[in-house]
Amino acid sequence: MDVKEKMAEHEIDFKTNFMILEVCNPQTANEVLSAHIEVGYFLPCKVVVYEKDEEVFIGTAKPGMLIGMMGYEDLNHIAMGVENVLIEAIDAAV
């Protein structure tokens, strides 16, 4: 989602280039949602790309931390796998 564009639709002059990308692996989503439906609060995973002081930043919330906040230790290995994939993708993009 282009946040700047979305804000403009509501006549808000948001000055920052800010993109929210939603990424999902359906098989993994099914696995974690089947175990604990509340994990849906964190899905799909989001990667944010924004510009600040003429520099581009890319980041994501770490799935391992999010699952840890929920206390679902049984999903920690899955969350860490997703986190590693996201970090590798971000690293490859910069």
End-to-end CA distance of the chain: give it in Å, rounded.
20
User: Which CATH superfamily is 3-93 part of?
Assistant: TT1751-like domain (3.30.310.70)
Instruction: Note whether 8 and 14 are within 8 A (CB).
Output: yes
In the chain, domain spans: 3-93
DSSP symbols for 5-70: HHHHHTT----S-EEEEEE--HHHHHHHHHH-GGGGGG-SEEEEEEEETTEEEEEE--HHHHHHHH
Question: How confident is the prediction along the chain (94 residues), in pLDDT tens digits per residue?
Answer: 999 999 999 999 999 999 999 999 999 999 999 999 999 999 999 999 999 999 999 999 999 999 999 999 999 999 999 999 999 999 998 8
